[in-house]
Amino acid sequence: MTPELRRWIIEQAQAGYAAPVVLQSMRDAGWDEDVAADALEVTLQDHLNELAVQQGQPAAVPVPEPQLDASPAQVDCGDRTVNVLLAMAQPRIVVFGNLLSPEECDALIADAAPRMARSLTVATKTGGEEINDDRTSDGMFFQRGQSPLIQRIEERIARLLNWPIENGEGLQVLHYRPGAEYKPHYDYFDPAEPGTPTIIQRGGQRVGTLVMYLNTPEKGGGTTFPDVHLEVAPQRGNAVFFSYERPHPSTRTLHGGAPVIAGEKWIATKWLREREFK
């Protein structure tokens, strides 16, 4: 892409023209639609990042990203074919079906159940852990590669999201009883908190989250995204992925676990870091 084209696209955006209008102008000028769309996306994304940094926001970093360029209905993860049920660009949210088999879901619950305790969250004031009244679940962590089952799931996730296994935290299993919830929050570590420098020494910022549903509650328990008015229903074997390129609310990745109304909810969460998590 030439500097002149990049400058023209930015000028159109600054003049208030919407992306579809700019794209149509490029098509009218003889541009191939796919090439024009790619040029438009790259230029506007870079421009927005520059503006964000100028406004004092952290710079964007690479994030996990499934290969969905051709809008596939399914993704080959080696040992399993995963369905793509929903894909949103901004914020980046993808809902997957058939990520885990029923047998894998049951095995994760069975392995985790004897070790459950009141869930802790990262204490951003100190860099340690603490009980958070906003999170009323029980939980436990598996170590990376702790068992053949965990290793198989982690390898599948790495292929699905194009992100190294070693850049992931250990798999966390959470259990929500009736009435339990996790109020809306962000998964990244707030740069303004005093404990964040200690936390990110182990692998950098969190840049992506994958929530896998291990059972289907009778009622409630969805994963909510208040900023975009989206709620993902928990269905056994399915998962929701979202990424956040900077630790800032502009990513619109505020999310929560809605209260379980009837039954119970089991999930497994994989948090993904910038670098190797040690």
**Its pTM surpasses 0.75:** yes
Return the DSSP state at 87.
E
CB 221 within 8 A of CB 176: yes
> What is the b/e burial string over 147-163, where b = at least 16 CB atoms within 10 angstroms of the residue's CB?
eeebeebbebbbbbbeb
22-26, 122-126, 168-172 — which is least confidently predicted? 122-126
Please state the rounded mean pLDDT for residues 49-58: 72
By CB atoms closer than 10 A (0-12, 13-18, 19+), residue 37 is middle
Which of 177, 155, 27 has the alpha carbon at shortest distance from 99?
A: 155
pLDDT-based confidence at residue 55 (cuts at 50, 70, 90): confident
Instruction: Check pLDDT > 80 for residue 131.
Output: no
Chain center to CA of 252: 11
Question: Count of alpha carbons within 13 Å of 41, Cβ hemisphere only?
Answer: 9
d(CA 273, CA 187): 11
pLDDT in tens, 212-229: 999 999 999 999 999 999
The strand pair at 93-97 and 81-88 is best described as: antiparallel
pLDDT-derived band at 94, boundaries 50, 70, 90: very high
How many residues does the structure list for the chain?
A: 278
Q: What is the distance between the alpha carbons of residues 137 and 116, in angstroms, rounded to a whole number?
A: 10
Quick: pLDDT tens for 228-277. 999 999 999 999 999 999 999 989 999 999 999 999 999 999 999 999 99
Q: Which residues pair with 94 in a beta bridge?
A: 87, 241
